[in-house]
Structure 1
Amino acid sequence: MTDVLVHSAQQTADLLDFPSLMACLATAAGELAAGAIAAPERQVVPMPQGGVMLSMPAAASDLCIHKLVNVVPGNRTRKLPTIHGVVTAYDGASGQALFVLDGPTVTARRTAAISMLGLASFLAAAPQRIALIGTGAQADGHAEALAALYPGLDVAVIGRSPDKAQAFVSRHRHLPLALTAGTAVPDDAQAVMTLTTSSTPVYGEAARPGRLVIGVGAFKPDLAEIAPATLHASQVYVDDLHGARHEAGDLIQAHTDWDQVKTLSSALAGGVPFDTPIVFKSVGCAAWDLAAARCAQSKIK
């Protein structure tokens, strides 16, 4: 057996620059829609003390991956990260193991990159001001992506409390962003990203053309970040239709008409009507981890 390269969190991040990752994700979105990538629904295995093990494989002709992630909420009391895991990449023809990436880093960066594809696809022009609702790990990854792609961007941060929002701003002062802490979404924000694990909506403003709403945090049926009224008055797009039907709590609880929901791949291929309010909901899937592995493979020497 040949040696398998194992990459640390920082090494994984270095292999996944956002422009390259976005290009790989756009390609993967088209392949997933065409059936060229197999990415079955993730398997959830209970662990002791309330943790879960998530198994997410995906396969294409050139590359296969298996992401195995353990989520243990009780780790907060142990002063350990709540998420641990790896993404292992295999040759598509032989099945030979090639390299291993840090799982939480892959997840954070490909999730943020999907949102960045949303910004590029669903806004008529580059944004001048964006609001982030949430101050946790997902918000960290999205701030890094915005800094890489839109240096100088005005970003309003809304947290559960003013102190949390201000702490986030202080923690990210090193980024080339005009960060401000607030308690409400600025009226002139062209995009709002919800990045929480809330069980009740954190955004419920009236839908309007020119303001894109990107929902990221609600990844289980019992979670919801965006109010039903906002969803019902918007054209809804999702990153993965199959996964959204089972996991997008916002849409499930709003009794969304799935026949009216469109996909990111359709927007990438055919464009969107910018005169219509748009909500883009992402839930993630293993195809995006495969795209990240492809991005990394292109840079591994």
Structure 2
Amino acid sequence: MKVFNEIETAKLLPMRELMEALRVAAQDCVEGKIVSPERMVVALKEGGIMLSMPATADDIAIHKLVNVNPRNSKEGLPTIHGQVVAMDALSGVMLFQVDGPTVTGRRTAAVSMLGISRLLAHQPKSVLIIGVGKQALNHVEAIAEIFPDAAIHMRGRSAHGAQMFVDQMKSVAPNLRVEEAGVDHDVVIAVTTARSPVYSELAKPGRLVIGVGAFTPEMCEIAPAIVDASTVYVDDPLGATHEAGDLIQANIDWSRVKSLASAFSEQPDFSRPIVFKTVGTGAWDLAACRVIKARL
């Protein structure tokens, strides 16, 4: 079995190829061609969790095992550790193992890029990213590649933290800067593990708000009033009902929630504000492994 480290895994996952694989996987899920059960969540100490995420299709099977430990930032350690193993779907033979956090970060950012491409009426002009962790890094890299003309504004817990992030990433994204007052953003992406809203500006038609970081019922990044006033899309309709804290805490009527897959067959209503909530699913990791398998 081939084993790839963080750098090697990233090179095997070009963003545009990954976006296309995710688009196909979203439709495969609708058609029942990918089986992706709800992930198993097991508690670790001090608020950490272990996630077990299998998925299978006719061509490949995968299992992702990751640990998410928010306290690690205090120790100078990454929040996420883990691995993804890909297997032949017929024989079960192990094909390769790749770095779990890298797969998670790149496929999550790619899902957000798909959301922007389908749920925004035009190319983004100004993107606000809230949070300066690993997911922020992946999203900045993705935006700089897929939407290179967009200005990217960073908001952290402090202006100093946001400036440090900008200084670190400026060579990757020349249009990156610390958030400036009075800028009207057409895309807002929240990538934190907050338990209370970090974004509460009034919902506005023509603005897309993407919630990425909150993945448990207790977490919430987007104010309920924004959810209430918006058309809501999710990446994984099944998983969202148990994990999308932003929507759960807004007491959402799930009958009005749309899937990302539907946005490729039905034109979104751009006259309304749109919220896109992502929680992740093993199907997205399977899509990433399809890209890797094809390149190998």
Structure 2 gaps of 5+ residues are: none
Return the letter of the residue paired with 2:218.
D
Q: CA offset at residue 82 of structure 1?
A: 3.1
How many pairs align?
296
Equivalent of 2:27 in 23, 27, 30: 30
**CA distance in 1: counterparts of 2:156 and 2:180, whole angstroms:** 7
Matches within 5 A, 1:57-72: 57-72=54-69
Q: What is the SS of the residue equivalent to 2:221?
A: coil
Return the letter of the residue paired with 1:176.
A
Equivalent of 1:161 in 158, 161, 166: 158
Distance 1:47 1:223, change over 3 A: closer
Q: Tell whether 2:188 aligns with 1:176.
A: no
- Percent identity between the two aligned chains: 51
Partners of 2:141 and 2:173 within 8 A in 1: no
**CA distance in 2: counterparts of 1:189 and 1:177, whole angstroms:** 18
- Structure 1, residues 160-196: CA drift from partner, whole Å, max 9, x if none? 1111111111111111331121265x54211111111
Structure 1 gaps of 5+ residues are: none
Return the letter of the residue paired with 2:122.
A
Equivalent of 1:289 in 265, 285, 293: 285
Partners of 1:131 and 1:157 within 8 A in 2: yes
Equivalence for 2:255: 259
Partners of 2:153 and 2:180 within 8 A in 1: no
Q: Tell whether 2:83 aligns with 1:86.
A: yes
Larger displacement relative to structure 2 (226-235 or 44-53): 44-53
Q: TM-score, normalised by structure 2?
A: 0.96
Equivalence for 1:299: 295
**CA distance in 2: counterparts of 1:265 and 1:63, whole angstroms:** 21
Distance 1:72 1:159, change over 3 A: closer
Equivalence for 1:193: 189
Return the letter of the residue paired with 1:277.
P
Equivalence for 1:20: 17
**CA distance in 2: counterparts of 1:230 and 1:287, whole angstroms:** 28
Return the letter of the residue paired with 1:146.
I
Equivalence for 1:54: 51
- Structure 1, residues 228-263: CA drift from partner, whole Å, max 9, x if none? 111111000000011110000010000000000000
Distance 1:204 1:46, change over 3 A: closer
Return the letter of the residue paired with 2:11.
D
Equivalence for 2:211: 215
- Structure 1, residues 122-168: CA drift from partner, whole Å, max 9, x if none? 11111111111111111111001011112242111111111111111
Distance 1:165 1:79, change over 3 A: closer
